[in-house]
Structure 1
Amino acid sequence: MTLAELIAQARTALDTAITTRRTEQDALVALRSEDTLTEEQVRAQIERRDAADAEVTRRQEALEELLAEQAREDELAQLQARTTPAATRAPAYDQVHRVGQEERTYRPDQDRRGAGFERDVAAAFLGDYDAQARLARHMTEERAERGDQLQRAAGTGAFAGLVVPQYLTDMYAPAAAARRPFADVCRPHDLPAQGMTVNLSRITTSTDVDNQSAENVAVTEQDMDDTLHTVNVQTAAGQQTLSRQAIERGAGVEAVVLDDLFRRYHTNLDSKLLNQASTGLTNVATSVAYTDASPTAAELYPKVIEGLAGVEAAMLDMASGDNVAVMHSRRWYWMQNALSSSYPLITQPGIIAQTLGANYATTYGRGVRGMLPNGTPVIVDNNIATNLGAGTNEDEIYLVDRQECHLWEDPDAPMYIRAEQTKAASLGVLMVVYGYYAYTHNRYAHARKIAGTGLVTPTFTGV
């Protein structure tokens, strides 16, 4: 992963931490306005707010450290450019600008037939830059001495060998990618250094407690038992073979190819978290049906609340409250398109009652995009499929406790192999990008998804 990508991830983490801290502060303000609050409740909320504040500070320091590192790299690059020894050879006479009277580039007394001029025209056509410079200087002299006699009848099309096209390689347009918005908000873990499975113990049979039926009578006993939850370590990889000519005679070809491979790696990982058979979020989430021939955002919102209620009911005391809603960009903008005079009866921290949530106006892939009316953060991810349902035109909305969306990644992933010997016989260079990861959303079966005909391709009608 490049330093620029690390900085982008650090910015996303900081944005998320700031949002969490803002939510905890709003919750504290709302709690203090209640008549029945206790000192313990206020203290507990202050501790949560302070913990979120500490997380903001930690994320900020991490970002500042990366930015300082980037600034140092830029400084070293500039220093190297300034200290690189310049050529000591004196420039050619015809490559220096002078003030005063100079001899003409092409002089009749030295070349009566104009052979030197003709040679320069031919050489310039073949790419001789010195010849091109002499021709350009000759034209400048002609304009200065006989400008009123020159007829500008010929356009650039008449000089295909002299008007050189420019290629702005630093402004190349990468192929767009959905990247990893959902993966970036999952609970991160470092992947263990060995093994191709990650095993977790899940308590499936708990102990039991009941009232003692009588004195000196045995109390309730239930043997505790667990079930092994096994998560497979997966390998994501991609390759590209480049000719040595493309690398050695191209401008930034290798860097462009690597950048695209890294973008595909992250997009694939995020897509698997959402869509992979059996383990992807769409396949482990419990469905909340939204069937409607004329769907509206106002009708969809109660389904979101129903899904969040299901998340908390499944988690019970293990619920962190750190819920997120994950949806496609077309669904997020469709919800923003809705206009209505209705608003929730119960106000929420940081949300104006008359609105259907809040839009933070952040860009794609930069963390939380906004808040739903009940304060649930929204993550927009275009790896969500849009060809679901009987009409193959539906998308889904996922509601999860992000602390129970676990993602293990190798700290060095994605990694890069550059193999020159493998394709040496054909002057090729093989580049491979790969990484190991594992994930589970199902340590507790809690996730919910809203699905059905109410989520067909949206029409933007203002309702």
Structure 2
Amino acid sequence: MTLAELIAQARTALDTAITARQQEQDALVALRSDPNLTEDAVAARVATRDTADTEVTRRQTALDELLTEQARDEEIAALSARTVPAATRAPAYDRVARVGSEARTYRPDQDRRGRQFEQDVAAAFLGDYDARDRLSQHMREERVERPEVVERAAGTGAFTGLVVPQYLTDLYAPAAAARRPFADSCRPHDLPPQGMTVNISRITTATSTALQASENTNVSETDIDDTLLPVSVQTNAGQQTLSRQAIERGAGVEPVVLDDLFRRYATTLDSTLLNQATNGLSNVATAVAYTSGTPTGVGLYPKVLEGLSGVEAALLDMATGDNIAVMHSRRWYWLQNALGSTWPLITQPGIVAQTLGANYATTYGSGVRGVLPNGTPVIVDNNIATNLGAGTNEDEIYLVDRQECHLWEDPNAPMYIRAEQAKLASLGVLMVVYGYFAYTHARYPQARKIGGTGLVTPAFNGQ
């Protein structure tokens, strides 16, 4: 039995002795409350309690002795580690893996594409001993820094446990995605836990007031009425089947695939909010035409104000003033390219005079990219279609009160299912990402969209 096992055994014995002593003490307290108590009974119980006390002391002493012995053993081991016998010769410098301040054998700052590693693998097959030494040194470094990967990959190829340098896998390039800039700007709600429809009551016939014609005549009366606005709950989902070999023998394959599924999920959700037939923003917004054979930023801006005017006119006292303009990145950069000598006559808060707005220089998908001359925030979203119009080369600009762009999402979405049984016979693992959502831009018909020949593929010519 080892010293550690003896210590564990002593701790258990001490715990048992303490429990027994506590039971004796509890019994003594209970006895003293007995009305028929005798001195002999109390004395006997006290003696039993004292015996239990003695056992606790004995067990504690035994444990302390073992712990003292263990501490001394650790001191001796530490002293031994610091003592190097004179007869022992240190290994050669190049035969020891040094990790820390010493540079790795294969370094991303010197060989980002990993060509040296690949050349050494090929050369080792042809008998190049220097290449084999470098690969062996690399494997010793990997065992120190990534032991879990080395053990998992043991036995691959012609070299036992040969592992590709980490920097060749952690710089993978994920597939670009438009993701969800507009969806993140919508008014968020938690999706109800049950049901496949969200119902909203809209007052479509209002009450009325009017001037009374004369005294004692009837005053105006109109019966209030509502219309139900049903909003369907939709399912956004995608799947991918991976081989067990790819997951178990690859480096980071499953997280890479899962990340890509999440990117597609976000992109599909956002594109649905913008482009879905019937209910998407492009299909519920009222059109504002910008027709021009030579479009300019200065010519487009009045249409923006026309659209915003329509938004407020539709909402009246329900307007929050929290308006946004949603446009494609090509349109946003085209506006920044515009130059001119005509400026708004009315200045706006936060906008430098004689400019066509302000660019905040934030990254794509990080929120507001800038503001227009009247202070309206701009959301750049590349899920906006660029193949509209007769020439299939137009995009649209959307102007909305963001508080009237409603999005219900499950707080836990997207969900992830990893199913192994479904593809067991082929050693496959099925990965599924899904989520439920509902949306509407039609609680009030307030949205506006600018479209037309003035929004064809932009020419960056300073106009």
Residue 343 of structure 2: aligned partner = 343
CA gap of 1:130–1:399, structure 2 versus 1, over 3 A, is: same
Counterpart-to-counterpart distance in 2, 1:405 and 1:135: 58
Higher relative contact order (CA 8 A, sep 6+): 1
Structure 1 stretches of 4+ moved >6 Å: 126-131, 134-137
SS at match of 2:184: helix
Residue 360 of structure 2: aligned partner = 360
Residue 304 of structure 1: aligned partner = 304
SS at match of 2:181: coil
Unaligned runs of 5+ in 2: 1-89, 95-120, 138-157
Q: 1:213 Cα deviation (Å)?
A: 1.1
Residue 42 of structure 1: aligned partner = none
CA gap of 1:136–1:291, structure 2 versus 1, over 3 A, is: closer
Q: 1:214 Cα deviation (Å)?
A: 1.2
1:263 corresponds to 2:263: yes
Residue 172 of structure 2: aligned partner = 172
Residue 203 of structure 2: aligned partner = 203
Residue 375 of structure 1: aligned partner = 375
Q: 1:376 Cα deviation (Å)?
A: 0.3
Counterpart-to-counterpart distance in 2, 1:129 and 1:197: 70
Q: 1:211 Cα deviation (Å)?
A: 1.0
TM-score (norm 2): 0.67
Question: What count of residue pairs does the alignment treat as equivalent?
Answer: 327
2:179 partner amino acid: R
Counterpart-to-counterpart distance in 2, 1:341 and 1:202: 47
SS at match of 2:439: strand
Q: 1:97 Cα deviation (Å)?
A: 3.3
Residue 315 of structure 1: aligned partner = 315
Unaligned runs of 5+ in 1: 1-95, 101-120, 138-159
Q: 1:165 Cα deviation (Å)?
A: 6.9
Q: 1:134 Cα deviation (Å)?
A: 9.3
Q: 1:215 Cα deviation (Å)?
A: 1.2
Within-5 A mapping of 1:58-457: 97-98=91-92, 125=125, 132-133=132-133, 166=165, 168-457=168-457
1:296 partner amino acid: T
2:354 partner amino acid: Q
Post-superposition CA distance 1:113-166 (Å, at most 9, x none): xxxxxxxx99953999999339989xxxxxxxxxxxxxxxxxxxxxx99x9975
SS at match of 1:254: helix
Counterpart-to-counterpart distance in 1, 2:122 and 2:342: 78
Between 1:386-395 and 1:350-359, the stretch displaced more is: 350-359
Q: 1:427 Cα deviation (Å)?
A: 0.3
Q: 1:341 Cα deviation (Å)?
A: 1.5
Counterpart-to-counterpart distance in 2, 1:224 and 1:404: 22
1:450 partner amino acid: I
Post-superposition CA distance 1:247-295 (Å, at most 9, x none): 0000000000000000000000000000000000000000000110000
SS at match of 1:170: coil
Post-superposition CA distance 1:406-450 (Å, at most 9, x none): 000000000000000000000000000000000000100000000
SS at match of 1:309: helix
Counterpart-to-counterpart distance in 1, 2:461 and 2:395: 19
2:325 partner amino acid: A
TM-score (norm 1): 0.67
Q: 1:353 Cα deviation (Å)?
A: 1.9
Identity of aligned residues (%): 78
Counterpart-to-counterpart distance in 2, 1:372 and 1:123: 61
2:284 partner amino acid: V
Counterpart-to-counterpart distance in 1, 2:134 and 2:286: 76
Post-superposition CA distance 1:22-56 (Å, at most 9, x none): xxxxxxxxxxxxxxxxxxxxxxxxxxxxxxxxxxx
CA gap of 1:180–1:130, structure 2 versus 1, over 3 A, is: same
Counterpart-to-counterpart distance in 1, 2:340 and 2:122: 73
Counterpart-to-counterpart distance in 2, 1:456 and 1:385: 11
Counterpart-to-counterpart distance in 1, 2:136 and 2:368: 56
